Structure 1
Amino acid sequence: MNDKPGPEAPNFHLPDPALVTRTMAEVAERGQRIVGDFLKRQSEESSSLDPLNLGQAFMEMTAKLMTNPAQLMQAQLGFWQDYLTLWSNTARRMLGGEAEPVIAEPKGDRRFKDDAWRENEVFDFIRQSYLLTSKYFTNVVHSADGLDPKTAQKVDFYTRQFVDAMSPSNFVMTNPEVLRRTAETGGANLLKGLTNLLADMERGKGKLRIRMTDDSKFRVGENIAVTPGKVVFQNDLIQLIQYTPTTEKVFKRPLVIFPPWINKFYILDLRPKNSFIRWAIEQGHTVFCVSWVNPGEDCADKGFDDYMKEGVLAALDAIEAATGERQVNAIGYCLGGTLLATTLAYMAARKDNRIKTATYFVTLTDFEQPGELGVFIDEEQLQGLEEKMNRRGYLEGTEMATTFNMLRANDLIWSFVVNNYLLGQDPFPFDLLYWNDDSTRMPAKMHSFYLRRMYQANDLVKPGEIELMGTKIDLRKIKVPSYLISTREDHIAPWKSTYRATQIYGGPVRFVLAASGHIAGVVNPPDSGKYSHWINEELPESPDDWFAGATELAGSWWPDWHRWVSGQDRTQVPARTPGTGQLPALEEAPGSYVKVTATD
């Protein structure tokens, strides 16, 4: 008999009848509006019953599995053997004995952080049963030999989406923390969670748009994106910000940053303590940053060449007018880096040498292996996406955000489902998640070109295959010194794919690999003491060989980059004040373009 004391039972409080009545009345009223919004949106969307083209992929997997029934039977036998061991171990624990777990969750999995998942025999059984079932599904998918790589990747990705969704942590009756909170509050947490759910459905106009942070605590230009400066130029696509210097002398070459227009530029200027822009100013750079417009239907016909002409090339003209300096150092982040490389190839063909050094933050130029984003790129999905974009003139920002969130579903979807809807808690104010939720739209013409010509056809890496503004693009003609920073856990631009650019560019290249992911590995100030980075002066063809010969260094890569870029030209001049050159100040940084939201 088990003599161990069980966990203390929580006090159960009956819910407030008035609260229940008010909540149910609110559900009825708001629910009617939400259903109306949902039906209206459905009538405007594609009629495809399988917009992700999953049916064909899973049919192909099933057919492959049926050709090898012995392998499938082996997987099933292994699953049941593990399950019998789990039953035996659970029975032993219920009788007061000890038993080693049959399976453990991966390191860093925060779904099962509550102690009851291990200390309580029932919840320990539920946890391990789920993990064993997940392992079985994954093994079965991986055992389907003969699938083409694209289909295999899609099946694997959506199997994991299903497995993550079915986690016992996502349901009231199988989550010990939620059960404990429900008992303590008499179910008030679930009523509050229902209210939160309705609010998120309203935000999405009938579609679920999960609130990740308390956005009422942030104001762009007030407590984030607060580095002082002026907007000195604007056109249909950009505002160009020149920042106020903090040193008496600055490097002669200005520094211009081209962020991605998939997101907003202030990821590089969230708060003073982690702002790359502010830090670069403190190192003596005259910093300019492009703030892209959040496009509407009026930008439907803006193409990739427009982003080059009205973005990069227009910014270079404006910087020369503002400072009198023709030559610059340039940084491109993610898609902004892809645009920078494309423009440099264009400029090389036109004998334009205004950009003297190029720095690429987590940038893909060879899209042969683009990581899990490739799951969303096939002909059927692209046709459905183009159908939507052509009706509206742009891709909705929330659709892009959902795609990125699915790449880290447990952290960016299901953790908030548990916190907001099951525990009934308001999300914590977090600047990075505010930025993540501040989504941007994408012009139809540009985005279709980007997905088809780069992600689907991988034409950018093929010399002369892409022509922009009458010029054939060849990345091998880029001769300027290049600094490539990639991140080891990047799920958007996998580092081994970004490394391929080291074998493409024609000039001297320095490749540095940072720890962490697409955002945290880049936005990593020296004072934080977080995340290491790897360096290797050699550039072998294989990224694995590069890493094998690399040296790991503690802390941020920012100082390494500054030593590199300042070493290209150390000439200094008196600091430049925004608005004192040929371009007058138009408005205070961060400008007005960045404040336009995807719902405006």
Structure 2
Amino acid sequence: MATLARLTGGISPHAVIEAWSDWALHLARAPGRQLELAEHAATSAARLWRFNLEVMSGMSPAPPFTPQKYDTRWSHEGWAQPPFSLMQQAFLASHDWWDAATADLRGLRGDTSARTGFMVRQALDWVSPSNSALLNPEILEATRRTAGHNLTRGARNFADDMSRALTQEARPIPPEFALGEHLACTPGEVVFRNDIMELIQYRPQTGTVHPEPVLIVPAWIMKYYILDLSPHNSLINWLVGQGHTVFCISWINPGAEMADLSLEDYRLRGIMAALDAVGAIVPDTKIHANGYCLGGTLLAIAAAVMARDGDDRLASVTLMAAQVDFMEAGELLLFLDESQVALLDDMMWAQGYLDRPQMAFAFAAIRAEDLIHTRNVRRYLLGLRDMPSDITVWNGDTTRMPARMHSQYLRGLFLENRLTAGRFAVEGRVIALKDIRAPMFVVATEADHIAPWRSVYKTKLFTDADLRFVLTRGGHNGGILSEPGHAGRHYRIGHRRTGSRYMDPDTWLADHPPQDGSWWPAYGRWLAEHSGPRAAPPAMGAPDAGYPLIEPAPGRNIHQR
């Protein structure tokens, strides 16, 4: 089973066959839908025929089918000219018909239409004319202009990528993006280290600071320096510059020997150990906790446990692109059911962890048009090399996840949604998010396909604390990296006071107009409102309490590959 999982990329053949069988049998007993699809096909054919006639007559008609906004495969001007425009429109018409064919049908299981639609889109995208060197006008133009050198360069790129994939050799980080020098370079010190994480304390940049420190909990699915990229777009550097004492967890990149690490290990030896260290270094004050992505989910769990047990060390809780309810967790749910989780369990049993390339494929498949096919065309047919940037370097700096922990959160959170169903137990007792009394700041991003904003919004449904909700422009990473001065940014912000009635997400969206600029200053003002008057910065580390300065930031975990 583990070998099968490797061959299929963790996709269960049983789940695929079951979805298609469910769809086909229900469509076979729905003559009304069959007639609708036949009519849809006839109408589309007529629209295509008319478009073709007008184009061949020298007219410039509006195309009857348009690609999605994020689909950049058709941006070259050659696609507007025949015969390429005819091939593009025929392909988009096929896409349109299959979207209708796999739409929800009475009697289907809830996820069948979404899964079949996803699978047929994947199949169609592989045979798109944009992927062909003979049918893509941009490739033909480049081949003519370079006398075919684009194809030879593309062949070298393909050979390089294949050799790295076969040998599992990581691509080196370019010198101009060296970690600790150009990325993850906010000055600080590692003040605590155990078997699963390092805790970094950042040096003050202002003469006075707010007394309450900020603890950042990144996701273990990524390296922490997504929040400390280049100095200009580093959230950590910005917070330090605003007069906050900032600490950040840097998770280990586990190997097979750490296969038995559990979600509870990450809570206890990660978040709780970090809180103990921060409390010893900056004593007699509460702590602002900030969690990103799955780090935010784990922080919400830890905060609920602390509230249940009377631990009031948290001054506030910030969740960035983090979900607590997974019923509407977006297209990632297309990869999850009991069959697929069992297959992943088998694969992780064999290798001890889930490797980042295996996860990266699932994330890329959701936006295959851009993240797979467009990139392949650029590298292998246009012969272009990827131009590195801070975020692409971080994205390629892969991590792994321990088998036991990954299985626990896939099954307990994504598949069974225990946290908001009242069935998530910690230390033998069920926890409730409504126990959290610390004020909350929740950030979602408009184009997030990993943590859709309406899913993140449901935090308001399961908590009672004073809460600010922010919806910002961008995706899962880009929306969070929204530094002041970033062009084209906007955000919406609302305040839910303790005891207020629930407002559904669509009503909230209509009632909160966008504001131009970055959401970071609004967050800084909110932190300041929940902090005491500024005073002299605390010392770095606390050697007498067992937290000496171990080594300069960014530490050693960040370099593990």
**TM-score grouping bracket, smaller chain normalisation:** over 0.9
Render the CA deviation track for 1:456-477: whole Å, top value 9, x for unaligned.
Answer: 11111133x2222344322121
Query: Displacement, 1:373?
Result: 0.8
Q: Does residue 466 of the first structure (1) align with residue 427 of the second (2)?
A: no
Structure 1 CA distance, aligned partners of 2:9 and 2:374?
Answer: 31
The corresponding residue for 1:536 is 494
Structure 1 CA distance, aligned partners of 2:370 and 2:400?
Answer: 23
Q: 2:19 aligns with which of 57, 71, 93?
A: 57
Query: Displacement, 1:111?
Result: 0.9
Tell me if the contact between 2:102 and 2:114 (Cα under 8 Å) persists in the aligned partners. no
The corresponding residue for 1:244 is 203
The corresponding residue for 2:478 is 520
The DSSP-based 3-state class of the residue aligned with 2:156 is: helix
Fraction of identical pairs, as percent: 36
Structure 1 CA distance, aligned partners of 2:8 and 2:99?
Answer: 31
Query: Displacement, 1:239?
Result: 0.5
Structure 2 CA distance, aligned partners of 1:305 and 1:475?
Answer: 17
Q: 2:222 aligns with which of 263, 266, 270?
A: 263
Query: Displacement, 1:440?
Result: 1.0
Q: Does residue 196 of the first structure (1) align with residue 153 of the second (2)?
A: no
Aligned-residue RMSD, C-alpha: 2.4
**Gapped runs of 5+ residues in structure 2?**
none
Q: Does residue 593 of the first structure (1) align with residue 553 of the second (2)?
A: no
Q: Does residue 177 of the first structure (1) align with residue 138 of the second (2)?
A: yes
| Matches for 1:12-27 after TM superposition, within 5 Å | none
Render the CA deviation track for 1:532-574: whole Å, top value 9, x for unaligned.
Answer: 1112334634111222221321111111111112111232221
Tell me if the contact between 1:46 and 1:388 (Cα under 8 Å) persists in the aligned partners. no
- Deviates most, 322-331 or 411-420: 322-331
Q: Does residue 555 of the first structure (1) align with residue 517 of the second (2)?
A: yes
Query: Displacement, 1:57?
Result: 0.4
Tell me if the contact between 1:41 and 1:206 (Cα under 8 Å) persists in the aligned partners. no
The corresponding residue for 2:310 is 351
The corresponding residue for 1:289 is 248
- Deviates most, 228-237 or 70-79: 70-79
Equivalent residue letter for 1:596: Q
| Matches for 1:323-402 after TM superposition, within 5 Å | 323-402=282-361
Q: Could you say if the C-alpha distance between residues 88 and 384 of structure 1 is closer, same or farther in structure 2, counting changes exceeding 3 Å? A: same
Structure 1 CA distance, aligned partners of 2:205 and 2:90?
Answer: 59
Query: Displacement, 1:436?
Result: 1.4
Tell me if the contact between 1:52 and 1:376 (Cα under 8 Å) persists in the aligned partners. no
Q: Does residue 476 of the first structure (1) align with residue 437 of the second (2)?
A: no
Tell me if the contact between 1:210 and 1:416 (Cα under 8 Å) persists in the aligned partners. no
Render the CA deviation track for 1:270-297: whole Å, top value 9, x for unaligned.
Answer: 1111110011001100000000000111
Tell me if the contact between 2:324 and 2:419 (Cα under 8 Å) persists in the aligned partners. yes
Render the CA deviation track for 1:408-428: whole Å, top value 9, x for unaligned.
Answer: 212211111010011111111
Tell me if the contact between 1:396 and 1:442 (Cα under 8 Å) persists in the aligned partners. yes
Q: Could you say if the C-alpha distance between residues 52 and 216 of structure 1 is closer, same or farther in structure 2, counting changes exceeding 3 Å? A: farther
Paired residues, number: 554
Q: Does residue 115 of the first structure (1) align with residue 77 of the second (2)?
A: yes
- Deviates most, 314-323 or 585-594: 314-323
Equivalent residue letter for 1:249: T
**Gapped runs of 5+ residues in structure 1?**
1-39
Structure 2 CA distance, aligned partners of 1:451 and 1:226?
Answer: 33
- Deviates most, 548-557 or 159-168: 159-168
Q: 2:548 aligns with which of 574, 584, 590?
A: 584
The corresponding residue for 1:16 is none
The corresponding residue for 2:450 is 492
Query: Displacement, 1:199?
Result: 1.5
Tell me if the contact between 1:214 and 1:427 (Cα under 8 Å) persists in the aligned partners. no
Q: TM-score, normalised on structure 2?
A: 0.93
The corresponding residue for 1:82 is 44
The DSSP-based 3-state class of the residue aligned with 2:514 is: strand
Q: Could you say if the C-alpha distance between residues 329 and 97 of structure 1 is closer, same or farther in structure 2, counting changes exceeding 3 Å? A: closer
Structure 1 CA distance, aligned partners of 2:403 and 2:5?
Answer: 20
Tell me if the contact between 1:53 and 1:381 (Cα under 8 Å) persists in the aligned partners. yes
The corresponding residue for 2:463 is 505
The corresponding residue for 1:309 is 268
Which of 1 and 2 has greater Rg? 1
The DSSP-based 3-state class of the residue aligned with 1:149 is: coil
